[in-house]
Chains A and B, each alone.
Chain A
């Protein structure tokens, strides 16, 4: 499939003003950099099953932030410099649909033909495992902004590849901790997760976490319907029959929406406490069809959990997104934002070291390694994978419909420090969980 190309450039007038300001030293960048562009290949799902839930909201958030950055002076410090270090950001979106083989080819196109300065992308864990070896081969600076598999840096090491979001173990560790700290009855639990790496890993992490935190809890059943199955009547019957206290699920997108629509009328949410590891992204679409009292994670302090704890940066982007798209931002745009802001931080840090020139891949990699920056989702620290893998704080809350405003809200939100729910560097997440979270820093 041909890559759709949309380019976002500031107006000539804005560039002229920025260049003039630069020459006077008003914004502290060189004249050369003000005339340059910084090209990013943005790879995310623009079609297919993950587009509506993850790809399109992320790209919408990305477009919005790039426009704001290119205007300059809109975001609070340290993001008030125009573009990246004064350079205009130019984004080239590419559809992630089509599988890992196609994505490797698209990656080569972006690097070798389009000559992008950075590739920022990938929702699918399969793509996140396929791209890094090629990125290192081409010496192309690459940021994985969304995918969840811990395997990228637990089983590999790359010079030019970074992941700006925490891996998925945090989601399920946090859910188990929420059960414990909120005193939720969990003598027994069951799971319904999609039958592929994401679902299997999520369930394994949750079971391991529960066995440490609530060792008497008994597993009733573990269901793994096919991804995009759509029909869950039989699974709902099995869950009703087993009567677990807690039902864990990492379903996402249309599968999660269908599950909620089918399980609600059958009373599943009344009979068991349902906990959705990454469920926030269906809340805008489902509205009051999402039952009250469902425990919800957002793969980070994203969405409604971020709004409840909003910094000026978070509030600015939240309001801008809601105004532009008529819907509140969920986890996907938050992860895109933290990826772009992490890249901006690395570019400007590299420019400080190289005299203000546009940095090359080696300079970007050196700047990104072990860095940290503040995103709308909190402080992001490249603390794992020898400085290549981010950790971030997480939040879990409970749904409550607000009839007065006609909006779904999150209540009873628990926030978890990044080092409380992410393993230290050098230990695999699942081993850390099984060892009882040694070294966890939970204030």
Chain B
């Protein structure tokens, strides 16, 4: 029973983190049809921005109200989105929309390489630590289980992000406009939808979600160059399992991977790495388009 409880809680925590770091990737693909290879770098920049923001917050006397550091973390992610979203979308991506998918993948890979060096130019290679927000909320002890409360904050953030994205897309007028663009870009244009603005907003939100993933992770790690490389691999695995472009799919995919990995670590640790890709392979064998992506007719 204790083992099962550990697997479920660990799986939920890891799955929630995976969802946060992959939802931006699937959102950008679903709406803009761009496989954003720079997602990991945006995650890393979010972590750096959050670390800097929290550091500045405490340096400016934040000790009096340490909980404000959570606001500083989110503010860091927003700043990254507001600056980098428009710069990358208007300055670069917009000029390649008519081109082949592969060109866009290469462009975003180029952005990834540039951003990796930009991070070193801004923050250097010395790691940053902002562990205060991680331990600030104390611990949760449920029977034999002993966790840091912050882990449950990540679960709450994942639920909030998932519900917010779903609500905006499915229950608001702006969301309907976005869905119309996904369904048929040309027709939306003829109906008066400003597709450029939709794309700008979508990419900026995608950047925010990537940066938010990094910001929420920053207190748990030493923020250093290259932290985004592994994340992009995991995020791809999650969105492929769920179906590229599907928010629900990303949530279920993240949960699958989280539970499978937790089961492996507790029961068969030798397969910890293998199990993630086993889940992906099994899903692709039976549902090549992923769990939640419907087969689409292709325009000729």
User: Which residues in A have some Cβ–Cβ distance to B below 8 Å?
Assistant: 47-49, 51-52, 56, 195, 221-226, 228-231, 233-235, 237-238, 240-241, 253-254, 257-258, 261-262, 264-267, 285-286, 289
Q: Which residues of chain B are near A254, meaning CB under 8 Å?
A: 127, 221-222, 224, 227
| Stretch of B67-75, B146-154, B197-205, B281-289 at the chain-chain interface | B146-154
A223 to B266, CA, bound (A): 9
Report whether A265 and B135 are in contact in the complex, using a CB–CB cutoff of 8 Å: yes
A285 to B221, CA, bound (A): 12
Report which of B125, B127, B146, B270 forms a contact with A257, defined as CB distance below 8 A.
B127
CB distance from B282 to the nearest CB of A (A): 20
Q: With contacts A47-B125, A238-B269 known, is A231 near B14, CB below 8 A?
A: yes
Q: Which residues of chain A are near B230, meaning CB under 8 Å?
A: 226, 228-230
Report whether B227 and A52 are in contact in the complex, using a CB–CB cutoff of 8 Å: no
Report whether A289 and B131 are in contact in the complex, using a CB–CB cutoff of 8 Å: yes
CB distance from B266 to the nearest CB of A (A): 5
A273 to B11, CA, bound (A): 26
A47 to B119, CA, bound (A): 12
Q: Which residues of chain A are near B76, meaning CB under 8 Å?
A: none
User: Which residues in B have some Cβ–Cβ distance to A below 8 Å?
Assistant: 2-3, 6, 9-11, 13-14, 17, 120, 125-127, 129, 131, 134-135, 139, 144-148, 151, 217, 219-222, 224-227, 229-230, 261-262, 265-266, 269-270, 272-273
Report whether A234 and B261 are in contact in the complex, using a CB–CB cutoff of 8 Å: yes
4 additional A-B residue pairs with CB within 8 Å, beyond A48-B225, A262-B220: A234-B265, A237-B10, A254-B222, A257-B127
A401 to B225, CA, bound (A): 28
Report whether A231 and B220 are in contact in the complex, using a CB–CB cutoff of 8 Å: yes
Report whether A261 and B220 are in contact in the complex, using a CB–CB cutoff of 8 Å: yes
A48 to B226, CA, bound (A): 6
Report which of B6, B17, B226, B273 forms a contact with A195, defined as CB distance below 8 A.
B273
12 A-B pairs whose Cβ atoms sit less than 8 Å apart in the complex: A51-B225, A230-B221, A230-B230, A233-B151, A235-B265, A237-B145, A237-B262, A238-B269, A258-B222, A261-B219, A266-B146, A266-B148
A390 to B148, CA, bound (A): 45
Report whether B220 and A226 are in contact in the complex, using a CB–CB cutoff of 8 Å: no
Report whether B262 and A234 are in contact in the complex, using a CB–CB cutoff of 8 Å: yes
Q: Which residues of chain B are near A238, meaning CB under 8 Å?
A: 6, 265-266, 269
Q: Which residues of chain B are near A237, meaning CB under 8 Å?
A: 6, 9-10, 145, 262, 265-266
Q: Which residues of chain B are near A230, meaning CB under 8 Å?
A: 217, 220-221, 227, 230
Report whether B222 and A233 are in contact in the complex, using a CB–CB cutoff of 8 Å: no
CB distance from A356 to the nearest CB of B (A): 42
Q: Which residues of chain A are near B222, meaning CB under 8 Å?
A: 254, 257-258, 261, 285
CB distance from B274 to the nearest CB of A (A): 10
Report which of A47, A49, A261 forms a contact with B131, defined as CB distance below 8 A.
A261
Q: With contacts A231-B17, A234-B262 known, is A51 near B125, CB below 8 A?
A: yes
Report whether B221 and A257 are in contact in the complex, using a CB–CB cutoff of 8 Å: yes
A47 to B146, CA, bound (A): 37
CB distance from A97 to the nearest CB of B (A): 10
Q: Which residue of A lies closest to B126 (CB)?
A: A52
> Looking at chain B's contact residues, is the secondary structure mostly helix, strand, loop, or mixed?
helix
Task: Please report the number of residue pairs spanning A and B whose Cβ atoms sit closer than 8 angstroms.
Answer: 118
Q: Which residues of chain A are near B144, meaning CB under 8 Å?
A: 241
Q: Which residue of B lies closest to A192 (CB)?
A: B269
Q: Which residues of chain B are near A285, meaning CB under 8 Å?
A: 126-127, 129, 222
Report whether B2 and A241 are in contact in the complex, using a CB–CB cutoff of 8 Å: yes
Q: Which residues of chain B are near A51, meaning CB under 8 Å?
A: 125, 225
Q: Which residues of chain B are near A229, meaning CB under 8 Å?
A: 230
Q: Which residues of chain B are near A265, meaning CB under 8 Å?
A: 134-135, 139, 148
Q: Which residue of A lies closest to B266 (CB)?
A: A238
A401 to B26, CA, bound (A): 46
Q: Which among A49, A226, A230 has the highest number of chain B CB atoms within 10 Å?
A: A230
A234 to B263, CA, bound (A): 9
Report whether B146 and A240 are in contact in the complex, using a CB–CB cutoff of 8 Å: yes
Q: Which residues of chain B are near A262, meaning CB under 8 Å?
A: 134, 148, 220-221
Q: With contacts A234-B14, A286-B129 known, is A224 near B272, CB below 8 A?
A: yes
Q: Which residues of chain B are near A267, meaning CB under 8 Å?
A: 139, 146
Q: Which residues of chain B are near A233, meaning CB under 8 Å?
A: 10, 13-14, 151
Q: Which residues of chain B are near A253, meaning CB under 8 Å?
A: 224
Q: 3 smallest A-B Cβ distances: which pairs?
A: A257-B222, A258-B221, A234-B10
Q: Which residues of chain A are near B224, meaning CB under 8 Å?
A: 49, 52, 253-254
Report whether B125 and A56 are in contact in the complex, using a CB–CB cutoff of 8 Å: yes
Report whether A241 and B265 are in contact in the complex, using a CB–CB cutoff of 8 Å: no
CB distance from A50 to the nearest CB of B (A): 10
CB distance from B166 to the nearest CB of A (A): 25
CB distance from B111 to the nearest CB of A (A): 18
A261 to B222, CA, bound (A): 8
Q: Which residue of A lies closest to B263 (CB)?
A: A234
A195 to B3, CA, bound (A): 24
Q: Which residues of chain A are near B145, meaning CB under 8 Å?
A: 237
Report which of A222, A226, A257 forms a contact with B269, defined as CB distance below 8 A.
A222
CB distance from A279 to the nearest CB of B (A): 14
A237 to B272, CA, bound (A): 14
Q: Which residue of A lies closest to B144 (CB)?
A: A241
Q: With contacts A233-B10, A234-B14, A286-B129 known, is A224 near B269, CB below 8 A?
A: yes
Q: Which residues of chain B are near A221, meaning CB under 8 Å?
A: 269
A89 to B148, CA, bound (A): 53
A418 to B110, CA, bound (A): 49
Q: Which residue of A lies closest to B222 (CB)?
A: A257
A224 to B261, CA, bound (A): 12
CB distance from A280 to the nearest CB of B (A): 16
CB distance from B229 to the nearest CB of A (A): 7
CB distance from A342 to the nearest CB of B (A): 28
Report whether B270 and A224 are in contact in the complex, using a CB–CB cutoff of 8 Å: yes
CB distance from A102 to the nearest CB of B (A): 16
Q: Which residues of chain A are near B14, meaning CB under 8 Å?
A: 231, 233-234
Q: Which residue of A lies closest to B233 (CB)?
A: A226
CB distance from A225 to the nearest CB of B (A): 6
Q: With contacts A241-B3, A254-B221, A285-B127 known, is A228 near B226, CB below 8 A?
A: yes
Q: With contacts A257-B127, A258-B220 known, is A225 near B226, CB below 8 A?
A: no
CB distance from B199 to the nearest CB of A (A): 31
CB distance from A120 to the nearest CB of B (A): 21
CB distance from B13 to the nearest CB of A (A): 6
Q: Which residues of chain B are near A266, meaning CB under 8 Å?
A: 139, 146-148
Report whether B129 and A289 are in contact in the complex, using a CB–CB cutoff of 8 Å: yes
Q: Which residues of chain A are near B146, meaning CB under 8 Å?
A: 240, 266-267
